Amino acid sequence: MADGERGRQPGDMRFIGPDDVETQVFDWGMLKWLAEPRVSNSQRFSQGIVVLLPGKGHTRHNHPDVEETLYIVSGRGRQMVEDEHGNRVYRDVAAGDMVHIPISAYHETINTGWEPLKIVATYAPHGPEAFLRTLPDVKILPPGELPS
């Protein structure tokens, strides 16, 4: 289907598809930020698709002054979110589950399945997605280019 048939016009960033944005590739998987200031001029949040490879994931980290949600699209994993006392709370997650990560809370996500774990991640406010671009182990692929 051509872009015009999908309702998207060149330069119209109100309608954004995966081929319209760069891919951030890491050894654990990849990210595509579909809503962020650089892409959609979003002002108060960023949102993207995360794909974690089997057995891989994001080890314990936090995003200072940022709240996050993770919506599990497909696959399964193990999610940790620390509570207000610093206790690590673990849960198994699968398609249809939503995880809320409070402001600055430490968390990690590990793919425990045999297939990719696909997640919609939202940051409010935006910011961590820009930081990820600066990491030494990231490879940035231009829009439309497939990972090899």
Mean pLDDT of 125-147: 91
Q: What is the pLDDT of residue 8?
A: 56
Sign of the alpha-carbon dihedral angle for 32, 73, 103, 61: negative
**Is-contact 104 112, C-beta < 8 A?**
no
Which domains, and CATH codes, for the chain? 27-133 (2.60.120.10)
**Is-contact 59 79, C-beta < 8 A?**
no
Least confident of 5-19, 85-99, 132-146: 5-19
Mean pLDDT (the chain, rounded): 92
pLDDT at 50 over 60: yes
Q: What are phi and psi of 58, to 5 degrees?
A: -95, 115
| Residue 78 bridge partners (DSSP) | 92, 110
Q: What is the pLDDT of residue 14?
A: 81
Mean pLDDT of 15-38: 94
pLDDT at 52 over 60: yes
Q: What is the pLDDT of residue 11?
A: 64
pLDDT at 124 over 70: yes
Q: What is the pLDDT of residue 1?
A: 46
Structure confidence by residue, pLDDT tens digits, 59-118? 899 999 999 999 999 999 999 999 999 999 999 999 999 999 999 999 999 999 999 999
**Is-contact 16 35, C-beta < 8 A?**
yes
Collapsing DSSP to helix, strand or coil, 19 comes out as helix
- Exposed (0-12), middle (13-18) or buried (19+): which is 111, by Cβ within 10 Å? buried
pLDDT at 122 over 60: yes
**Is-contact 49 119, C-beta < 8 A?**
yes
Q: What is the pLDDT of residue 7?
A: 53
Of 40, 32, 118, 134, nearest to 77 (Cα)?
118
